[in-house]
């Protein structure tokens, strides 16, 4: 198994990841009802490739505010710690099933950091 090396590799990763998310009824509603990504999935996957490419491969090109996007989703439907756990589980599985190496470990570590920061920001937004 190869390490993550290219944007094509990242596309494989995010495509597999979203297949898992859509198949899991515990979290799929976020992507079909709350924010209907399934209606423009290909466009969304390309944005994710840019994000992870910038984060892992240093290519640049991602310009959205990741934190604000998730805070906006949280206003529509609470993003609970359980949802982040499910998200991370599927992300890690998608990485581990397709890649092995330094970048694969780096992307998993970064996903955990992002999930942790987003949960802190959500708590700050709604301190209840």
- Provide the whole-model pTM: 0.93
Per-residue pLDDT at 127 exceeds 70:
no
Q: Other CB atoms closer than 10 Å to residue 60's CB: what's the count?
A: 9
Question: Which tokens go with 29?
Answer: 């509603």
Reported confidence tier of residue 128, pLDDT bands at 50, 70, 90: low
| Percent above pLDDT 70 for the chain | 98
Buried/exposed code over 13-39 (b: 16+ C-beta within 10 A; e: otherwise): bbbbbbebbbeeeebbebbeeeeebee
Q: What string of DSSP letters covers 33-52?
A: IIS-GGGGHHHHHHHHHHHH
Q: What single DSSP character describes residue 2?
A: P
For 39-74, the pLDDT digits (tens) are 899 999 999 999 999 999 999 788 889 899 999 999
- Residue 11 CA to residue 69 CA, distance in Å, equals 21
């Amino acid at each position: 198994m190869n390490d993550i090396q290219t944007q094509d590799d990242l596309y494989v990763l995010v495509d597999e990841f979203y297949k898992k998310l859509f198949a899991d009824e515990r979290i799929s509603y976020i992507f079909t009802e709350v924010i209907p990504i399934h209606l423009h999935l290909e466009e969304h996957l390309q944005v994710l490739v840019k994000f992870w490419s910038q984060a892992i491969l240093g290519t640049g090109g991602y310009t959205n505010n990741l934190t604000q996007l998730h805070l906006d989703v949280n206003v529509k439907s609470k993003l609970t710690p359980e949802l982040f756990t499910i998200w991370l589980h599927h992300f890690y599985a998608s990485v581990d099933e397709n890649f092995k190496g330094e970048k694969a470990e780096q992307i998993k570590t970064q996903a955990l950091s992002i999930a942790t920061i987003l949960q802190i920001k959500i708590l700050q937004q709604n301190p209840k």
